[in-house]
Amino acid sequence: MQPLSSRTSTFTDSVIRRMTRVANACGAVNLSQGFPDFDPPKALTDRLAEIGPKGPHQYAITFGAENFREALSDKHFHFSGLRYNPQKEMVVTCGSTEAMMAAMMSVCNPGEKVVLFSPFYENYGADTILCGAEPIYVPLDPDTLKFDADVLESAMKQPHVKALVLCNPSNPSGKVFTREELQVIADLAIKYDLYVITDEVYEHIVFEPHKHTYIATLPGMFERTIECSSLSKTYSITGWRLGYVLAVEPIMDRLKKVHDFLTVGAAAPLMEAAVTALRFGDDYYQELQDHYTHMRNMFMEGLRNLNLKFMEPQGTYFVLLDIREFGYEQKFAGKLAEGEYIDEKFCIDLAQKVGVAAVPGSSFFREPVNHLIRLHFAKKDETLIEALNRLEGIGKLK
Ligand SMILES: Cc1ncc(COP(=O)(O)O)c(C=O)c1O
């Protein structure tokens, strides 16, 4: 048999999904893969039940059902002040995952480069490789999550750089980029004529006093921002696979074609049901924020009571825990095989011996950072309490 594609030969199994399998095998509380274990809003599931027998059940128009796009345009205008034309400037995709892929494929030629901040959500590396492009990484300091503007500029000005990917609020770090930081990025994107492809799936999960700023709202950025987001996190429907891209018409014209060839379109009955959610009033978003603030505070307090060190998230539902005090570095010095990392060893022990599953931070960092693990807290109180009870036994890993 001939070899399979060389472009995809470097792909490894997703570490997050691997940790989910480890969690399932040993009955650990799964705080690795980020999805809620509570129900979506009832109005949304009621609407889905109504649609079941009635439909629509056939293909929707490829760039998304019209009522969905109109509702999305209104909702986005309400929160950002930017009005995207539902006919010309948006496409509904199968999650932000497809949105990002379609955006990158619309922008990049093989051999071109894309700037990513590290740590980064693991799909971005794969997306660039699938386009034949090359990722360039700009580190966020693992302690402060700040970037060095000079390092960013030297990455953005390299030949053949086409775009920068901005995940804001950011998975896995929980960082919410400030307006000043976004201005630095925007100035450089304009100076070097780059597209900014955003992933804003956590736009509504931001903790006070932090605020989400859409980079597309900064002067000169509307024309060059390709905004990707999704309903997965905002309405607790990660399995519905509804996402979207917003961009000006010349970009969107191309993107719609890429989307059509990739997936034809998002699920018609789910788009129909989701219009209900897109029309929710401000109270829904306030309750969402209150609920996530409650989960975050409860989990943080539990971690603090256990004297664990962690980075307080500004947004998203992830927290990075510092595992240096457990001495894995020393325990495994000189004993690791190629491709093995101490944080991965730690996560496997944590799942098997303590009963809580997390994701090794090294899977998000390009730099050799392996003293952090990622836990998520989009869980019912009882799940978080169970996880915290089990974490009381974490001392046995020392
Ligand atoms: C930063 C980020 N982007 C995208 C996704 C996937 O989004 P979707 O379900 O819309 O494909 C996730 C899921 O965890 C994520 O954390």
User: Where do the structural domains in the chain lie, given as residue ranges?
Assistant: 15-40+283-393, 42-281
**What is the C-alpha end-to-end distance of the chain, expressed in Å?**
49
- pLDDT on residue 15: 86
Cβ of 229 less than 6 Å from ligand 1: no
Q: Do residues 374 and 119 lie in contact, with contact meaning Cβ atoms separated by under 8 Å?
A: no
Category of 316 on φ-ψ map: left (φ > 0), alpha (ψ -120 to 50) or beta: left
- pLDDT on residue 10: 87
Q: How far is the CA of 167 from the centre of ligand 1 (A)?
A: 10
pTM of the predicted structure, to 2 decimals: 0.96
Instruction: From the CA of 230, give the closest atom in ligand 1.
Output: 10
Query: Which amino acid residue places its CA nearest to atom 14 of ligand 1?
Result: 34
- pLDDT on residue 72: 98
For ligand 1, mutation pick of 17, 30, 91, 97 (most atoms within 8 Å of CB): 97
Cα–Cα distance list, 233 to 128, 152, 155, 236 (Å): 24, 29, 31, 5
- Give 15-40+283-393's CATH code, choosing from 3.40.50.720, 1.20.1530.20, 3.30.110.40, 3.90.1150.10: 3.90.1150.10
Q: Do residues 252 and 245 lie in contact, with contact meaning Cβ atoms separated by under 8 Å?
A: yes
Q: How far is the CA of 337 from the centre of ligand 1 (A)?
A: 31
Sign of CA dihedral 284, 287, 292, 293: positive
Cβ of 95 less than 6 Å from ligand 1: yes
Domain covering 42-281 in this structure, CATH number: 3.40.640.10
Cβ of 199 less than 6 Å from ligand 1: yes
Cβ of 119 less than 6 Å from ligand 1: no
- The phi and psi torsions of 137 (rounded to 5 degrees) equal -105, 135
Task: Assess whether the region 15-40+283-393 and the region 42-281 belong to the same CATH fold.
Answer: no
β-sheet with 90-93: strand ranges across: 90-93, 243-246, 225-230, 195-199, 161-167, 113-118, 134-139
- pLDDT on residue 336: 84
pLDDT tens per residue across all 398 residues of the chain: 999 999 999 888 788 888 989 999 999 999 998 889 999 999 999 999 999 999 999 999 999 999 999 999 999 999 999 999 999 999 999 999 999 999 999 999 999 999 999 999 999 999 999 999 999 999 999 899 999 999 999 999 999 999 999 999 999 999 999 999 999 999 999 999 999 999 999 999 999 999 999 999 999 999 999 999 999 999 999 999 999 999 999 999 999 999 999 999 999 999 999 999 999 999 999 999 999 999 999 999 999 999 999 999 999 999 999 999 999 989 888 888 877 889 999 999 999 999 999 999 999 999 999 999 999 999 999 999 999 999 999 999 99
